[in-house]
């Protein structure tokens, strides 16, 4: 074990969309269990299960996996923005009520 390996925290491995699609195709086309295919590819079987479920959900809705992820990211961004706007609105309401009391 090298010194650099001890000093760096664990980094998450990232897989390309092509790798994920190919892994799911291997599971679908072969009669082998997910655990065996995952072991052959050197990944955790729960990852392969998740990729398969995501791809199946995307296909059932007529989307690609990438477009589903893009929509989910956009939804998260819009929810955050909406929460901020609600906070700003509530602050302005309280400020307006405060100024209304002072002007009486």
The C-alpha atoms of residue 77 and residue 84 are separated, in whole angstroms, by 11
> Could you tell me the pLDDT band of residue 104, with boundaries at 50, 70 and 90?
confident
CA separation, residue 1 to residues 4, 5, 97 (Å)? 8, 7, 65
73 has pLDDT over 90? yes
Q: Which fold has domain 14-62?
A: Arc Repressor Mutant, subunit A (1.10.10)
50 near 16, Cβ under 8 Å? no
Among residues of the chain, what percentage have pLDDT more than 70? 91
51 has pLDDT over 80? yes
Among residues of the chain, what percentage have pLDDT more than 90? 48
101 has pLDDT over 80? yes
């Amino acid at each position: 074990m090298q010194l650099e390996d001890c000093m760096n925290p664990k980094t998450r491995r990232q897989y390309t969309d092509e790798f994920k699609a190919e892994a799911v195709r291997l599971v679908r086309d072969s009669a082998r269990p997910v655990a065996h295919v995952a072991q052959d590819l050197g990944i955790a079987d729960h990852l392969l299960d998740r990729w398969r479920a995501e791809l199946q959900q995307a296909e059932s809705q007529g989307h690609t996996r990438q477009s589903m992820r893009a929509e989910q990211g956009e939804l998260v961004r819009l929810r955050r923005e909406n929460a901020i706007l609600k906070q700003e609105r509530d602050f302005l309401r309280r400020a307006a009520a405060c100024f209304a009391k002072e002007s009486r």
